Structure 1
C-alpha cells in the first residue's frame, strides 16, 4: 500500500533528529586523557584556527584518573598539562592567581578558551580526519620546552601508532641556563634553546630557516636523548610524526612510575 506523502514527511520529521545524532556520533572522535603522575594536573586544550574549543579548554585531573573528551572528527589543535595550579575554587570565577600554574598557564584561567599555554611546556599536537581514507596526524613537541612526559596511542593500541614517553627525566638533565625554577628552587620545566636565547640558529628562522641550514644543537641533542619520540627542534629528522586513523586516542601524562627513568610500562 502506498503511503501518503504527508505520512512520509511526518515520519521523516520524527526520525530526522535521530539520524542527525547518529551522524554526529559517527563524525566524532574520543580522546582519553589520563594522569599517571603522582600529583594532580590541569590538562588544557587549544584549537587551531576555525576549530571549536573542546573540554571547555581546561580541567582538573587528579592522579590515577582519566577524562573522556569528545572531539569533532576533523578537529585539530593542541593539548598540554599544567602543573601546581592554584585556582579560586570558592567563587564562580574561572580565574585564580595570575599566573595560576607553575607551568603551562593560560592567563590564570582554568578554562583556557582557546588561549595557548605559557611555554615551556610539552605539547601534544593533533590533526584528526574521521574519513579513514585521509591521514590523521599527531606528535609531541618540545620545540619550545618541556614540563612533563607524555605518551600517545590509538585504542586498541598498535606499535606503529605509539609515541612513547621519555627515557630520562629531562628536568634532571636540563642545563642550568634552560632551567625554570619555582619559589622553592625546584626545576619545574626546561626551556628550549630557542625560547631561552631567541637566536636564529636555535629557532630555525631567517637565514637558518631550512633543514640544510638549521642543524641539531647541543641543547636539542640533550632533549632528543631524553625524549627520542618527540620533536626536539623545528627540523627534527626523521620527523617524529605519527599517521594513524582511529576513532579513539589515548594521551597519558607521566606514562610510567615517576622517577629518574620515565618510560612506558
Structure 2
C-alpha cells in the first residue's frame, strides 16, 4: 500500500511539474507615476488568468502564469475606486465596476496587449499592441531574456497630450485621460473598416490613425494597419511594461 502511495505521489509531482514547466509567465510592470489596475480577459474557450485583474502601484511588478495555449488581452485601468460603489469604478478600461474582470472586456478606449499562445515550444507565439479602439497608456512588450526582434516598443509621444478634442475622454477635473479611435468616436464604416470598407484595399489610413501611428509606430493604429505590427516569438516569459522609460519626455504628464 505504501509503495502505491509513493508511486501516486511521484506521478502527481511529475504531472504538475510538467504542467508548470509548460506554462507561460507574464511579468506586468508599472513604471507609470500613478497606480494602475491591470486586467486580463480571455478569448472564448480560454480560462481567466491573474484573477482577471489586480492593483499595481508605481514601481511594482506582478507575475502570473497562463496556459501554454492561452489567447486573450491584457490592459491597464486607471483612476479606479472600488470602495465607493460608483459606476464605473475606473476612469479608463473599466469592466462593470469589478476589480477582477472575470472574463469581461474593458470599456474602451484602452491600449490593448493582444496575445495568442501556440502551445508548442517549437512554434512562435503571436502578440501585438492595439489602438484600434483607442489609447489610455503607453506599453511595451518584450521577451525574457530580451531580444530586440521580439519586442514591441513604446510610444515616442503621449497621445493624451495630442488627442483632438473630438476624440478626448475627460475626467471630472477636465483632464484628458484617454483618446478614442475614430471608429469608436464616430462609428462610421470607413473608420471602422467594415461593410463596404471591410478590406485593406478599401480601408486606408486616416488623419486620426496617422496621428496614432506617428506617436506609437509599433502599435496597430487601425484595423488594416500595414505592415501588420504583429510579433511572433516563442518564449517562456513575456514582460509587459506600462509607461516604459522610452516613453518620451512628457511621461509625467499623465
For 2:9, which of 11, 14, 20 is the aligned residue? 14
In structure 2, what is the Cα distance between the partners aligned to 1:32 and 1:187? 28
For 1:33, which of 6, 20, 28 is the aligned residue? 28
Match of 2:170 in 1: 181
CA RMSD of aligned residues (A): 1.6
Q: Where do 1:95-174 residues align within 5 Å?
A: 96-174=85-163
Match of 2:195 in 1: 206
- Contact 1:130/1:246 (CA < 8 Å) preserved in 2? no
In structure 2, what is the Cα distance between the partners aligned to 1:81 and 1:183? 19
Q: Could you state the TM-score of these two structures normalised by the residue count of structure 1?
A: 0.91
CA gap 1:258/1:244 in 2 versus in 1, 3 angstroms: closer
Unmatched 5+ residue regions in structure 1?
1-5, 90-95
Match of 2:58 in 1: 63
Shift of 1:22: 1.1
In structure 1, what is the Cα distance between the partners aligned to 2:52 and 2:118? 21
SS of 1:138's partner is strand
Match of 2:75 in 1: 80
Unmatched 5+ residue regions in structure 2?
none
Shift of 1:7: 8.3
SS of 1:160's partner is helix
Alignment size in residue pairs: 251
Match of 2:212 in 1: 223
- Contact 2:118/2:124 (CA < 8 Å) preserved in 1? yes
- Contact 1:130/1:247 (CA < 8 Å) preserved in 2? no
Q: Deviations over 1:227-247 (max 9, x none)?
A: 000000000000000000000
> 1:237 and 2:232 equivalent?
no
Identify which range, 142-151 or 12-21, moves more after superposition. Answer: 12-21
In structure 2, what is the Cα distance between the partners aligned to 1:241 and 1:143? 14
In structure 2, what is the Cα distance between the partners aligned to 1:135 and 1:257? 26
SS of 1:134's partner is coil
SS of 1:185's partner is coil
Shift of 1:9: 5.2
Shift of 1:97: 1.7
SS of 1:126's partner is strand
> Which aligned segments of 4 or more residues in structure 1 are displaced greater than 2 angstroms?
6-12, 257-262
Match of 1:23 in 2: 18
SS of 2:17's partner is helix
Which of structures 1 and 2 has the bigger CA Rg? 1
CA gap 1:258/1:158 in 2 versus in 1, 3 angstroms: closer
Shift of 1:10: 5.2
Identify which range, 158-167 or 128-137, moves more after superposition. Answer: 128-137
Match of 1:52 in 2: 47
Q: Deviations over 1:33-59 (max 9, x none)?
A: 000001100000000111110111000
